Amino acid sequence: MGWTAADIPEQRGHTVVVTGANSGIGLETTRKLARNGATVVMACRDTDRGENAARDIRVDIPDADLRVETCDLASLESLRAFADRLGDESIDVLINNAGTMAIPRRETADGFETQFGVNHLGHFALTGLVLDDLRTDGPEPARVVTVSSGLHERGEIVFDDLHGERSYDRWDAYSQSKLANVLFAYELERRFRAGGVNAVSVAVHPGYADTKLQSRGVEDRGRVIRAATRLANTVLAQPAEQGALPTLYAATAPDVEGGAYYGPGGLMNMRGPPERQASSDRSYDRETARRLWAVSSDLTGVSYDLPEPMPETRSS
């Protein structure tokens, strides 16, 4: 049967931050972590929706330890305020989950193309801003779980037009942002190791999960495309509850390895129990990851107190 939510270890005493916790994968991740005793900080752009989601969870789990906080990944100011409110609170797991998919070109409050700005730069900045809270002295390493997508495989980092100002395709922009997620997760793991930090960084993808992301991505595309999307969700997609399993596995399973990529192992990696998988060839390009890290730090103004990893040595 593979790994299921029933295999989640006891989480009492663990504090987990989940971005985009009010719907889809983030909501189901929050629900399962709370059921197993975790304290979950629900980092949401819309706190009214966050509070509604928290109330929904408490219907089934009356003692759920939840806290809703404003965290808008499209605003560096909001991210800094969120990190300031956390103060010195210890974080056991940071789940970089929130995202937007295949939308018309828009810009964040800071002038970034929205998909790249929210999906990648927002999470890059957030992780750096709470980095000190992730440095635990306990026996278990802290974890950073970054949610990507199988569509990262078609992605390419277009450094001379990251924000799609000269040429914009909604799916190319989404795929670029999701490739950036994986590159970031792997580079963060390398820097954790170089700095001797008691933390691991992991990338995951949910497969094809029936969430609001798909409908938002086609809401302006006409009736035929909207109907086809609904049909595909009905026939092919797994429920968000199942799509959350790779995230939950990466966040809680004792045998998770830093620098790994986990996703559903069933039909075309679209559904099924989580397993370790290989990501795209581009995602393992260390020079691209290093360059993306430097650009991301410059754009967000967020620097990490972590050493740059040594260059990869090649055997002769």
192 CB-side CA count, 13 A: 26
Residue 112: DSSP 8-state: -
Cβ 143 vs Cβ 199: under 8 Å:
yes
What pLDDT is stored for residue 61 in this prediction? 98
**Amino acid identity for residue 166 in this structure:** R
Nearest Cα residue to 200 out of 154, 267, 146: 146
Q: In the numeric block, which tokens belong to residue 268?
A: 């075309």
CA distances from 297 to 101, 121, 128, 129, 148 (A): 23, 9, 9, 11, 20
Active-site choice (174, 208, 249, 261): 174
Single pTM value for the model = 0.91
Give the phi and the psi of residue 210 in degrees, each rounded to 5. -80, 95
- How many other C-beta atoms are found inside a 10 Å radius of the C-beta of residue 99? 26
Nearest Cα residue to 149 out of 123, 180, 113: 180
- Reply yes or no on whether 174 is catalytic: yes
- Compute the distance between CA of residue 176 and CA of residue 128 in angstroms, rounded to an integer: 21
Cβ 79 vs Cβ 130: under 8 Å:
no
- DSSP letters for 192-233: HHHHT-SEEEEEE---SEE-HHHHHHHTTS-HHHHHHHHHHH
Q: In the numeric block, which tokens belong to residue 240?
A: 């968000």
What pLDDT is stored for residue 139 in this prediction? 83
Per-residue pLDDT of the chain (316 residues; tens, 9 = 90+): 699 999 999 999 999 999 999 999 999 999 999 999 999 999 999 999 999 999 999 999 999 999 999 999 999 999 999 999 999 999 999 999 999 999 999 999 999 999 999 999 999 999 999 999 997 677 899 999 999 999 999 999 999 999 999 999 999 999 999 999 999 999 999 999 999 999 999 999 999 977 766 455 545 656 545 444 454 444 456 898 999 999 999 999 999 999 999 999 876 768 899 999 999 999 999 999 999 999 999 999 999 999 999 887 654 4
CA distances from 45 to 18, 73, 265 (A): 12, 7, 31
What pLDDT is stored for residue 210 in this prediction? 78
- Compute the distance between CA of residue 223 and CA of residue 44 in angstroms, rounded to an integer: 30
Nearest Cα residue to 204 out of 260, 158, 252: 260
What pLDDT is stored for residue 50 in this prediction? 98
- Compute the distance between CA of residue 264 and CA of residue 119 in angstroms, rounded to an integer: 21
What pLDDT is stored for residue 219 in this prediction? 59
